[in-house]
């Protein structure tokens, strides 16, 4: 008798199996594959810290889902040029075995810090969300849930599969 796979894991694996060929066939899919390869080493949180990512104290969540803990590379975040394979932020969900890498984020600070003027920034062919503040200077950001499937969408801000 084969072991039974929990429904949530089976659904996640099915979604990945369906999306993988489509993603790999597109330019964004190729960039996502490069991003996953570039961030794979950060499953080990000590490697992320050694590479300049500093953890924040709060695990971010909302009724729409979670983001997890943000590990911020300040040098990258202060650089207004977003690299598709060098995210400014790594997102980790709490787990019994320690922080678990679930996604990445890019952030660009607004040049004039005026919410009334809109700038246009993109990475991976996606427009960054904003302008916004939520406790930071005016900025734009984009999340990519490359290590934890998000039923709301790959680039949505919150992931209902991430819990704090």
Digit-coded pLDDT (tens) for 47-91: 999 999 999 999 999 999 999 999 999 999 999 888 999 999 999
Measuring CA to CA, which residue among 132, 125, 137, 120 is closest to residue 157? 132
Measuring CA to CA, which residue among 57, 11, 37, 1 is closest to residue 146? 37
Number of domains into which the chain is organized:
1
Structure tokens at 80: 């207004």
Which residue stretches of 26-149 are H helix? 27-39, 45-50, 74-77
CB atoms within 10 A of CB 32: 21
pLDDT of residue 80: 85
- In a domain? residue 74: yes
- Cα 15 from Cα 13, distance rounded (Å): 5
pLDDT of residue 5: 38
| Residues of the chain falling short of pLDDT 50 | 1-24
Residue 158 near residue 145 (C-beta atoms within 8 A): no
- In a domain? residue 163: no
- Give residue 129's domain range: 7-144
- What's the pTM value of the predicted model, to 2 decimals? 0.83
- In a domain? residue 120: yes
- In a domain? residue 153: no
- In a domain? residue 152: no
pLDDT of residue 134: 86
Task: Work out whether the CA dihedral 49, 68, 101, 87 comes out positive or negative.
Answer: negative
pLDDT of residue 25: 58
């Amino acid at each position: 008798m084969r072991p039974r796979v929990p429904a949530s894991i089976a659904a996640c694996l099915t979604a990945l199996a369906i999306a993988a060929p489509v993603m790999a066939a597109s330019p964004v899919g190729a960039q996502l594959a490069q991003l996953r390869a570039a961030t794979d080493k950060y499953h080990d949180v000590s490697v992320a810290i050694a590479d300049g990512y500093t953890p924040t104290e709060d695990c971010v969540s909302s009724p729409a889902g979670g983001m997890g803990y943000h590990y911020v590379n300040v040098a990258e975040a202060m650089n207004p040029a977003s690299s598709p394979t060098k995210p400014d932020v790594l997102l980790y969900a709490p787990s019994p075995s320690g922080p678990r890498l679930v996604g990445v984020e890019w952030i660009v600070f607004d040049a004039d810090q005026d919410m009334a003027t809109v700038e246009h920034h993109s990475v991976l062919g996606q427009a960054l969300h904003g302008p916004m503040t939520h406790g930071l200077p005016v900025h734009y950001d984009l999340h990519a849930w490359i290590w934890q499937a998000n039923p709301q969408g790959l680039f949505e801000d919150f992931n209902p599969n991430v819990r704090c």
